[in-house]
């Protein structure tokens, strides 16, 4: 058996990489077959070996998979973003934001449990700490302007706890229904999918500051742009079960927009 070291530096066998990454050799061979992750070398015995650059590529693949992207979408990301360090830096920023938000949620739930056990009075403003809409502030302002964010932010902060929970439940139900529809094999132009698209537009219209809520706003352009964003951004695609589900939502919204807006 060949030694795992090379003149260019250390490399690892496919079995070692599978064990360290929590995946399988079969999965790594599949990534090789589709050109997503090539081994740095193949020994005379046919064994695949991976160097540090390959490990970096695998880390990106696994991170994007966790966000719900399919392999074709990941390949597309790699074609457009060749600077791995820059891409991982952006991903790290997002993970840190998520880490901070989840830590606040954990603390919020812990406090609720302790308060209920002790028979104390629940504080609504603490119960919902960490369920934060402001994480998209910069993106909203960049896409639709500071006024759009200010209006939606004022609307949200003006709600009571029960109103916020009811709105969140409505949004979650819509997302669940989209996932179920996409998984059932419905066509994007089916009556069921188009009813979901109608509900989606009504939901967007209910949010002050969005182009959908503004008189004379470009609702059609806004809807088409959102559909593309759902597919392109793994954070949003995850709300619809991943890239395939987001693609179904995009196509249904586009059909609805062309027919009704």
Show the domain range for 56. Answer: 6-80
180 and 250 fall within a common domain? yes
Instruction: Give the residues across from 5 on adjacent strands.
Output: 10
Question: Is residue 92 included in any domain, yes or no?
Answer: no
Give the closest residue to 211 by CA, choosing from 139, 140, 137, 132.
140
Q: What rounded mean pLDDT belongs to the chain?
A: 76
Number of residues that this document lists for the chain: 261
pLDDT value of residue 40: 92
What's the mean pLDDT in 157-184? 80
256 and 140 fall within a common domain? yes
Q: Is the pLDDT of residue 157 over 90?
A: no
Q: Percentage of the chain with pLDDT > 90?
A: 21
Contact by Cβ (8 Å): 219, 212: yes
Residue bearing tokens 């999965």:
27
Domain boundary among 80, 95, 120: 80
**Model pTM score:** 0.46
The domain tally of the chain equals 2
CATH of the domain at 26: 1.10.1660.10
CA distance 182 to 76: 22
What's the mean pLDDT in 119-134? 48
53 and 166 fall within a common domain? no
What's the mean pLDDT in 153-161? 68
Higher pLDDT, 133 or 16: 16
149 and 45 fall within a common domain? no
How sure is the predictor about 216, in pLDDT bands with cuts at 50, 70 and 90? low
150 and 75 fall within a common domain? no
pLDDT value of residue 205: 79
């Amino acid at each position: 058996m060949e030694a795992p070291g090379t003149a260019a530096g250390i490399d690892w066998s496919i079995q070692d990489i599978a064990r360290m990454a929590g995946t399988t050799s079969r999965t790594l061979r599949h990534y090789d077959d589709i050109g997503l992750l090539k081994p740095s070398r193949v020994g005379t015995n046919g064994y695949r070996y991976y160097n540090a650059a390959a490990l970096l590529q695998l880390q990106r693949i696994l991170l994007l998979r966790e966000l719900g992207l399919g392999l074709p979408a990941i390949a597309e990301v790699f074609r457009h973003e060749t600077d791995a360090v820059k891409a991982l830096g952006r991903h790290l920023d997002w993970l840190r934001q998520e880490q901070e938000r989840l830590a606040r949620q954990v603390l919020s739930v812990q406090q609720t449990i302790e308060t209920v056990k002790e028979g104390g009075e629940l504080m609504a403003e603490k119960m919902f700490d960490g369920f934060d809409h402001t994480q998209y502030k910069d993106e909203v302002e960049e896409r639709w302007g500071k006024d759009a964010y200010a209006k939606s932010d004022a609307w949200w902060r003006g709600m009571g706890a029960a109103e916020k929970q009811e709105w969140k439940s409505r949004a979650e139900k819509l997302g669940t229904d989209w996932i179920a529809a996409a998984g059932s094999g419905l066509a994007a132009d089916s009556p069921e999918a188009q009813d979901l698209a109608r509900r989606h537009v009504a939901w967007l219209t209910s949010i002050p500051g969005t182009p959908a809520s503004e008189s004379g706003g470009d609702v059609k352009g806004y809807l088409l742009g959102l559909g593309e964003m759902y597919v392109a951004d793994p954070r949003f695609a995850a709300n619809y079960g991943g890239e395939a589900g987001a693609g179904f939502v995009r196509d249904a919204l586009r059909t609805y927009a062309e027919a009704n807006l």
